[in-house]
Amino acid sequence: MSNPFTPTFGVTPPLLVGRDAEISALNRALSAGPGDPARAIVCTGARGTGKTVLLNALEDTARDSGWAVVSVTAHPGLADELTQTVLPPLLAAHGVDEFTSHVTGASASVLGVGASVSRSVTERYPFTPSLRSELTDLATALGLRGKGVFISLDEVHRARRTDLEPLFHAVQHAFREGLPVAFAAAGLPAAVHAILNDDVLTFLRRAQRWTLGDLPEPLVAEALRGPIALAGRTISQAALDLAVETVHGYPFLIQVVGFELWSAQPDSAEISLRQARAAVPRAIDAAHRLVHDPALRDLSPGDRAFLTAMAVDPEGPTTVADIAERLNASRGHVNKYRARLIAAEVIEPSGRGQVDFALPFLRDYLRQTA
C-alpha cells in the first residue's frame, strides 16, 4: 500500500476539501457568459494555503466544461513563451489557420518601353502574430462552439511587471470585446497587493479576490481520514484527534502530517495513537524545512528581527510595545514591520496592540534557529 499523501507544494492532494464554493463559482461563470464576475479571479494567501492546488482544480473544472486551458507560471519571458510555444498548438488543434488575410498594398513598375508593363505585389503592412491576436483568434474560434479559453497564472510574485503586462493587456482586451475568456492568477499577498496597486496593471483591480486561509477541523479530519480509508487502512479516533490538532487548520500540514502518520508503521492495518505520537515531531520538522525556512528566506532582516522578538514569548500573542522595547526601536518603526508581516500573512492581529504568529509552529522554529 503506497502512501496516499503528497507533501509537495503544488501537487493536488488525494482529497481536496474546503474549495467547493470556489469551484462552483467558476463552473457558473463558464456557463453564464462574459459578464460573470468569477471570470477574473485572484487567489492569494500565505505559503502552503493551497493556492496552486486551487488553480489545478479550476483548470480541471474548465477542461471538464470543454474549455481550452492555458496553464503557466509567471517568469521572465512569459509573453514570448505564450506567443511562440503555448498558444500556436492550441490554435492548430482548434482549426485556426496559421495565416489569415491582412491589409496589403500594390505597387507597379514600368519595364522597357511602350505598353509593356509588369506589376509586383508586396505586403505594405506585414503582420506579426502577437499574444493579443493569438488569444483573440483562439477565443473567437472556441466561442463559435460555445466554449472558451481559461488562463491560469501561478506564482505572480516571481515575475516583474514587464513580464505580466502583455498577458494582462491581452486578457483585458478579450474581456472588453466580450470574448469567452476566463482568467485566474495566484500569488503571495505582498505580490498581489503590489499588482493591484500598480498604475498600469489596473485590470485585476476588478477581479474577484479569493483569500485562502485555515480550514475548519471537521474538514481537516475528512481530508486525513478519507485518503487513509481509500488506501485500505483505518485510523483510531485518538490518533485522528491528535493529527487534527497538529494541523491547526493549515492546508499544507494536512499532507505533511498525513504522510508521517502513514509512514510511522505502514504495514499496520490501523494507525494508532502511539504511531501518531511518533509521527507528529517528524511532521513538525518537515514543516520547518518546507514552510518556515522558505517563508523566512523571503523576508527582510528587519522582518525577521520583528518575528524573533515575538518568539521570546513562549506562547500566546505579543504586544507591539514589548516588541519595540526588545528591538530598542520606536513604535512607528515597529508598526511599519507589523503592517508588512500582516500583509504577508506571516502574523495576524490578536486584540488591541497585539499580534500572533499566523503560521503553525513558526514560533518553535524561530526559538530553535534565532
Q: What is the mean pLDDT of residues 330-351?
A: 90
Q: Which of 87-101, 200-214, 247-261 has the lowest mean pLDDT?
A: 87-101
pLDDT at 195 over 80: no
Burial status of residue 73 (CB atoms within 10 A of its CB: 0-12, 13-18, 19 or more): middle
Fold topology of 217-296: Helicase, Ruva Protein; domain 3 (1.10.8)
Locate CATH 1.10.10.10 in the chain: 299-369
Helix (H) or strand (E) holding 323: helix 320-327
Domain spanning 299-369, CATH class: mainly alpha
pLDDT at 236 over 90: yes
Reduced to 3 states (helix: H, G, I; strand: E, B; else coil), residue 97 is coil
Report yes or no: 266 and 300 within 8 Å, Cβ to Cβ.
no
Q: What is the mean pLDDT of residues 63-76?
A: 95
* Interatomic CA distance for residues 81 and 70, integer angstroms: 11
Take residue 314 and report the three cell numbers written for it.
Answer: 513562549
Q: What is the pLDDT of residues 113-172, one digit of tens each?
A: 444 444 455 555 555 789 999 999 999 999 999 999 999 999 887 667 788 889 999 999
Fold topology of 20-94+131-211: Rossmann fold (3.40.50)
Q: What is the pLDDT of residues 99-116, one digit of tens each?
A: 444 434 434 444 444 444
Cβ neighbour number for residue 111 with a 10 Å cutoff: 7
In Å, how far are 13, 175, 288, 299, 354 from 306, measured between CA atoms?
Answer: 34, 43, 18, 11, 13
Locate CATH 1.10.8 in the chain: 217-296
Reduced to 3 states (helix: H, G, I; strand: E, B; else coil), residue 354 is strand
pLDDT at 335 over 50: yes
Report yes or no: 44 and 210 within 8 Å, Cβ to Cβ.
yes
Q: What is the mean pLDDT of residues 219-226?
A: 97
* Interatomic CA distance for residues 178 and 198, integer angstroms: 24
In Å, how far are 29, 35, 140, 175, 272 from 136, measured between CA atoms?
Answer: 19, 17, 6, 10, 57
Q: Which residue has the higher pLDDT, 281 or 107?
A: 281
Q: What is the pLDDT of residues 17-44, one digit of tens each?
A: 999 999 999 999 999 988 899 999 999 9
pLDDT confidence of residue 305: 95
- SS (HEC) of 218-252: HHHHHHHHHHHHHCCCEECHHHHHHHHHHHCCCHH
pLDDT confidence of residue 127: 58
Q: What is the mean pLDDT of residues 219-238?
A: 97
Locate CATH 3.40.50.300 in the chain: 20-94+131-211
